[in-house]
Chain A
Amino acid sequence: MTPETWQRVKVVVADATDLDGDERAQFVSRACADDTALRREVESVLAHAGERFERAADAMSKVAGAAEGNGLAGIRIGAYELVREIGRGGMGAVYLARRADQEYNKEVAIKLLKRGTDTDEVLRRFRAEREILARLEHPNIAQLLDGGTTQDGLPYFVMEYVAGARITDFCFASNLSIHQRIQLFLKVCAALQFAHQNLVVHRDIKPANILVTADGEPKLLDFGIAKLLDPSDEPVDITVAERQRLTPAYASPEQVRGQPITTVSDVYALGALLYELLAGVGPHRFSNVHPAPAELLRVIAHGEPARPSVAAADPQRRHRLRGDLDRILLKALRKEPAERYRGVGSFAEDLRRYLEGLPVRARPATFGYRAGKFLGRNKSGVAIAAVLVIGGIAGTVMMLMSARQAELQAKRAERHFKDVRQLANSFLFEFHDAIATLPGATAARQLVVSRALEYLDKLAREASGERALQLELAAAYLKIGDVQGKPYTPNLGDSAGAVRSYQKAAEIVAPLARTESSAARNTDARRLLSTAYISLAAVQARTNELDAALANNERALRIGEQLLTDGGAHADEWRRLLISCHTGMGDAIQAGNHQLRDLNRYRAAVEHYRRALPIAEQLIAANPHSVPDLVGLAKACARIAGMLPPLDVAGADPVHFREAMALHDRNLELLRAAMKHEPGNSQVRRNIAGALIAKAYARCVAATDLEQAAADCDRAIQIFDRLAAADSLNAEAQQDLSYGHYVKGWAHQLRGEQPRAAEHYHASLAILEPLIQRHPGNIETSYDLEQARRRLAETDAAGAPR
């Protein structure tokens, strides 16, 4: 039989099944006319009802349904037919349902109580929920449409079906900015505030209960354990069952302690949610998804959450969170309800003040802070304003200083001294940080920092013996060095100035850092000193003073090793320091050693990268869930692997190749673990694709497993593609994508598939050519361009039918 014949048979059979007896026979002979072959087929098929398949399929559905829910998919409830389960909560399952009469295709969500749990208590609460929801009509709250009891006596209610993504997934998938995230969050606040005004506490705020529709509207679902705050209702106290049901990441301290739940508990949960939206991770770490009660109590009721700016993995994001958002979030997350915002309204109000650049309530109003806010609101005049403000400060300082000289009373002098010092520090840290990310702020930053430095300098001369002041001064010099020329951050491009400032910091702090000199092992001084050396090395690597860079890295390394040996609370910090030293030294040694002209240098670099590896492993052992550390170890693996495969240069070495592959795999494994913790982290996603490409490249160099190499390229290209599409201005992403195509092309070329190779080289060139127009000076782009053209020419030559 041909497909065409079957289509004809099928049509006649289908229509005929609606008819019986003579009518059916007449219909068949009419429909088949004199096509006897068709008629024979139709009659043959019609002779078999196949009822047993129907019964078997139904039995299978019931089996499937029994596993999925209460075997309810497909059954009718009121005017609706359940289509499938879409969610499951403590009390029951939620189904997507459709009007069974198919009058119109309206989709709804039906929440149905789980059989076996329909105890009186739950039934009562379920009825309460129905009443609560009926009272809440708000555009950002999923509407209750209907309710009732099934034939079996199970209560249900019909709600607006919200097709949307969890708010967390939505924010990360759409790559919303911090501003946009807060704006979206404010809508959630408005809905919740409305509920509070109606005396309803949600009690179960979590991403699964806040869906965002395709047009960006958040909808609050499932006031599942909400209770009326009505005074007539019985006292609110948490039941054991309820405590088991709470979601650890968002549960408030009073909730885990079993204390009364109020609207301020929702403030806490909202705080935890916003924390996650902004920092990318929640405020607490648990050992597993369902922590034991003791752990819940320890972490939620007693553990202090890290500042969001510390918890966030992305350095840029960290920077944006530092300051106001840190304070707002930590205020919402206070252990004691009385110390939080009074209600959702004041929480939202503070966020709005933040968005508008007004001073937020969650922060004490110091002068430097308010001045920073003022500058933030008036970006155009930043530099001028800064000069004016600084002029003002300078005047004040001078006044204070002269007053000190005039006054001989020691007490008063001391107070002034403190004032000036505080002013200078506030200036240096709060004010500077507040303006640091403003476009065009670099000049103002320099002015601010250098002026503050001047005063600190003067003070330091007056009190040369004071250790704390010396440390402050060193920190100030480090800061100005950063402004002058810290690589890969906005700076003035004044490398020589940066080196001078870092050196000065080192000079000030070096005598204090001597371990034999004083108490407390000088941890803070040694930390500053090592930072100064690393900063020096970074600038020097940039300016090609590789020997100096190496020497300074080595100094930092020695301090770090000593600190680690001394023990104490900061071991992880010193480990990170050591890793960056080893990596920095490897980089400095290898810099400029292209094509491995100098094998000794190559080996020394590999040696340093290798030494970073066990330290990074120790860090992971201590912090298995730390995304920055996972990424750090992954990077260490990638660096070594990247050095290993040059079979053509270092002599064909299968041992190296195998080791490189193992390291590539470890790299991928670590990054995937990081991805699990932070699915929205696009840098990690990028690194995964990068690792796949690096692996494919190694295979191409070794000319083995080329099919796998091409497949890995495909996956990488897919990721790069999405990243590039998400941020079309990001030249880095474009470059990645073109490189993916390039390596894929090479894999095909090596397999002798010239046309496919050419296809990918063309794809690579199509990206690189406009890119080089935009950034003509970029050496990497022009190198890639040259390579792709050369390879393309090779395929053309090989593919020519000559």
Chain B
Amino acid sequence: MLPAMVANPQSDREFLEQTARWLAAENAELAEALPRVYDELRSLANGYLRRERPDHTLQPTALVHEAYLRLRTQRNVDWNNQAQFLGIAAKMMRRILVNHAEKRDAQKRGSGATHVNLDTALAVFDREAIPTLDVNRALMQLEALDARQAQIAELRFFGGLTVPQTAEVLGISPATVKREWTTARMWLEREITRNS
């Protein structure tokens, strides 16, 4: 199944390289298509953000999902299986959201400027007051402790997969997913509270 392949990506480039290297062993054509896929996701997300639709706070992420849905149905990319695709998509989502959060934080520190549109991308997390960057860091720690559990959390949290979908992707029972996810989120909460 999917290894915890992207441990600590320092940059988009590194993220892509790590992902592509892992993929190359599985599916050369897919690895080749990856940068294009990622670019398309990002530009779609940004393109949306420029359009400013305050009435629909959830839409940016929906858009990203739409983008990867479209990519998935593209015939010229031979997605080996659904699992592979969703796993990578979750990683991409994580990367995109973390990037946005980083930029937003930098802007806040720099100028004290009013919230820019980037915020809306994180509307889901903001509503629950979830510190995206802290979650990302905590998830990296969990990756070191328990790679599969971290992956389950990633698929649920960043990938937006339901429990049955996550089970399907990883080829394990929904009961296991539920159990792992419950303990993972408790652990994440503890880590974030402890470090803040």
CB-nearest residue of chain A to B58: A63
CA distance A62 to B163 in the complex (A): 12
Q: Is the CB of B190 within 8 A of A3?
A: no
- Distance to closest chain A CB from B125 (angstroms): 6
The residue of chain B having its C-beta at the shortest distance from the C-beta of A4 within the complex is B145
Q: Can you name the residue of chain B whose Cβ is closest to the Cβ of A53?
A: B185
Contact (Cβ within 8 A) B160 A57: yes
Question: Residue A665 at the B interface, CB < 8 A?
Answer: no
Interface mask (A540-559 → B, CB under 8 Å = 1, otherwise 0): 00000000000000000000
Interface residues of A in 1-46 (CB under 8 A from B): 1-3, 6-7, 10, 13-14, 17, 44-46
Q: Which of chain B's residues 138-163 have a Cβ closer than 8 Å to chain A?
A: 144-146, 149, 156-163
Query: Measured between alpha carbons, how far is A280 from B160 in the docked complex, in Å?
Result: 39
Q: B189 near A: Cβ within 8 Å?
A: yes
For the complex, is A715 an interface residue (Cβ under 8 Å from B)?
yes
Contact of A54 among B183, B185, B193 (CB under 8 A): B185
Determine whether the beta carbon of B189 is less than 8 Å from that of A83: no
Q: Is the CB of A63 within 8 A of B65?
A: yes
Rounded to whole angstroms, the CA-CA distance of A643 and B62 in the bound complex is 52
A48 pairs with B190, CB closer than 8 A: yes
Given A54-B185, A67-B65, A676-B160 contact (CB < 8 Å): no
CB of A45 within 8 A of CB of B165, answer: no
Whether A6 contacts B186 in the complex (CB less than 8 A), given A60-B124, A63-B65, A66-B62, comes out as no
Please encode chain A, from 56 to 89, with 1 for each CB lying within 8 Å of some chain B CB and 0 for all others: 1101111111111000011000000101100000
Nearest neighbor of A81 in chain B, beta-carbon distance:
B164
- Say whether B158 contacts A60, CB under 8 Å: yes
Distance A381 CA – B61 CA, assembled complex (angstroms): 71
Question: Is the pair A52, B129 in contact by a Cβ cutoff of 8 Å?
Answer: yes
Contact between A6 and B124, CB atoms less than 8 A apart: no
Tell me, in angstroms, the Cα distance from A55 to B69 when the chains sit together. Answer: 23
What 0/1 pattern do residues 108 to 144 of B give for CB contact below 8 A with A? Answer: 0000000000000000110111100001000000001
CB distance from B174 to the nearest CB of A (A): 8
Q: B7 an interface residue at 8 Å Cβ cutoff?
A: no
Q: Find out whether the CB atom of B190 lies under 8 angstroms from the CB atom of A73.
A: no
Contact B28 A56 (CB under 8 A): no
B146-A63 in contact (CB<8A): no
Report the minimum CB–CB distance from A682 to chain B (whole Å): 15
Please name all residues of chain B whose beta carbon is closer than 8 Å to the beta carbon of A2 when the two chains form the complex. 145
Whether a CB of chain B sits under 8 angstroms from the CB of A398 is no
**Bound-state Cα–Cα, A6 to B161, Å:** 25
A74 touches B125 (CB 8 A): no
Q: Which residues of A contact B144 (CB under 8 A)?
A: 3
The answer to whether A10 and B146 touch (CB under 8 A), given A59-B124, A64-B160, A84-B168, is yes
Q: Return chain B residues, CB-CB under 8 Å to A102.
A: 174
A60 x B61 contact (CB < 8 A): yes
| Cα A54 to Cα B135 with chains together (Å) | 13
A10→B66 contact, CB < 8 A: no
Q: How many Å lie between the Cα of A714 and that of B159 in the bound state?
A: 31
Closest Cβ neighbor of A69 among chain B residues: B69
Chain A contact patch, size range: 35 or more
Asked if B187 and A56 make an inter-chain contact with CB atoms under 8 angstroms apart, the answer reads: no
| Complex Cα gap A260–B57 (Å) | 48
Q: Is there a chain A Cβ closer than 8 Å to B76's Cβ?
A: yes
**Does the CB pair A63–B183 fall under 8 Å?**
no
User: Which of B62, B128, B174 contacts A55, CB < 8 Å?
Assistant: B128
Contact string, A92-127, partner B, CB cutoff 8 A, digits 1/0?
000010100010000000000000000000000000
Evaluate contact between B128 and A7: CB separation under 8 angstroms: no
The answer to the question of B182 belonging to the interface, with a C-beta cut-off of 8 Å to chain A, is yes
Report B-chain residues with C-beta under 8 Å of the C-beta of A718.
Answer: 28
Give the residue of B127, B146, B159 whose beta carbon is less than 8 angstroms from that of A3.
B146
CB–CB B145/A1 < 8 A: yes
Residues of A within 8 Å of B82, CB to CB, are: 84
Contact B190–A45 (Cβ < 8 Å): yes
A388 within 8 A of partner (CB):
no
Q: Which residues of A contact B185 (CB under 8 A)?
A: 49-51, 53-54, 57
Determine whether the beta carbon of B157 is less than 8 Å from that of A63: no
In chain B, residues 157-181, which have Cβ atoms closer than 8 Å to a Cβ of chain A?
A: 157-165, 168, 174, 179, 181
Question: Contact at B65–A711, with CB atoms within 8 Å?
Answer: no
Q: Of A6, A46, A48, A67, which one neighbours B145 at CB under 8 angstroms?
A: A6
The complex places the Cα of A47 from the Cα of B189 at a distance, in Å, of 9
Nearest-CB residue, chain A, relative to B158: A60
| Chain B 77-93 near chain A by CB (<8 Å), digits 1 or 0 | 00000100000000000
Q: Which of B65, B124, B130, B189 contacts A49 (CB 8 A)?
A: B189
B162 → chain A closest CB, angstroms: 4
Q: Across the interface, do A63 and B160 meet the contact criterion of CB distance under 8 Å?
A: yes
Taking CB atoms, residues of chain A closer than 8 Å to B127 are: 56, 59
In Å, the complex CA distance between A782 and B193 comes to 70
Instruction: Report how far A47 CA is from B182 CA in the complex, Å.
Output: 13
Known contacts A14-B179, A48-B190, A57 near B28 by CB under 8 Å:
no
A17, B130: Cα distance in complex, Å: 23
Q: In the complex, what residues of A have CB within 8 A of residue B58's CB? A: 59, 62-63, 66
Is the CB–CB distance between A73 and B165 below 8 Å? Answer: yes
Contact across chains for B186 and A56 when beta carbons are under 8 A apart: no
Query: B residues within 8 A CB of A46?
Result: 186
B41, CB-defined interface residue at 8 Å: no
A21–B60 Cα distance when bound, in Å, is: 41
Name the B residues within 8 Å of A56 (CB-CB).
124-125, 127-128, 130, 157
Residues of chain A lying within 8 A (CB to CB) of residue B183: 10, 13-14, 17, 45
Is there contact, CB below 8 Å, between A50 and B186? yes
Say yes or no for B2: interface residue by CB 8 A criterion: no
| Complex: A73 Cα to B127 Cα, angstroms | 23
Is there an interface contact between B165 and A83, defined as CB atoms closer than 8 Å? yes
Q: A719 to B24, alpha carbons, bound, how many Å?
A: 12
Give chain B residues whose Cβ lies under 8 Å from the Cβ of A74: 162-165
A673 CB → nearest B CB, Å: 10
One of A48, A73, A715 near B24 (C-beta < 8 A): A715
Q: Decide if B69 touches A68 in the complex (CB within 8 Å).
A: yes
* Nearest CB in chain A: distance from B9 CB, A: 20
A54 to B183, CA, bound (A): 11
Q: Is the CB of B24 within 8 A of A711?
A: yes
Given A1-B145, A6-B145, the answer on whether A53 and B168 have CB atoms closer than 8 Å is no
Tell me, yes or no, whether B45 is within 8 Å of chain A by CB. Answer: no
Contact among A7, A57, A63, A715 for B61, CB-based, below 8 A: A63
Within 8 A of A (CB), among B18-42: 24, 28
The interface residues of chain A lying within 8 Å CB-to-CB of B125 are: 56
Q: Identify which of A48, A66, A96, A714 contacts B186 (C-beta below 8 A).
A: A48
Among candidates A44, A61, A63, A715, residue contacting B190 with C-beta atoms closer than 8 Å = A44
Is the CB of B188 closer than 8 A to any CB of chain A? Answer: yes
Q: How far is the CA of A68 from the CA of B162 in the complex (A)?
A: 12
Given contacts A13-B186, A715-B28, contact A57 B156 (CB under 8 A): yes
Alpha-carbon distance A83/B164, docked complex (angstroms)? 6
Report A-chain residues with C-beta under 8 Å of the C-beta of B174.
102
Residue of B nearest to A719 (CB): B28
A61 CA to B187 CA, complexed, in Å: 21
Give the shortest distance, in Å, between B130 (CB) and chain A (any CB): 6
Residue from A60, A714, A719 within 8 A of B160 (CB atoms): A60
Please name 19 further chain A to chain B contacts, defined as beta carbons within 8 Å, in addition to the given A61-B161, A718-B28, sorted by A numbering: A2-B145, A3-B146, A10-B149, A14-B182, A52-B128, A53-B157, A54-B185, A55-B128, A56-B157, A57-B181, A60-B157, A61-B162, A61-B165, A64-B160, A66-B58, A67-B63, A67-B66, A73-B164, A84-B168
27 A-B pairs within 8 Å (CB atoms) are namely: A14-B179, A17-B183, A17-B186, A49-B185, A50-B188, A52-B130, A53-B128, A53-B157, A53-B185, A53-B189, A55-B128, A56-B127, A56-B157, A57-B181, A57-B185, A59-B58, A59-B124, A61-B160, A62-B58, A63-B65, A63-B160, A67-B69, A68-B69, A74-B164, A81-B164, A83-B164, A98-B164
Top 3 A-B residue pairs of the complex, sorted by shortest distance between their CB atoms? A64-B160, A50-B185, A60-B160
Residues of A participating in the B interface, judged by any CB pair closer than 8 Å:
1-3, 6-7, 10, 13-14, 17, 44-57, 59-68, 73-74, 81, 83-84, 96, 98, 102, 676, 711, 714-715, 718-719
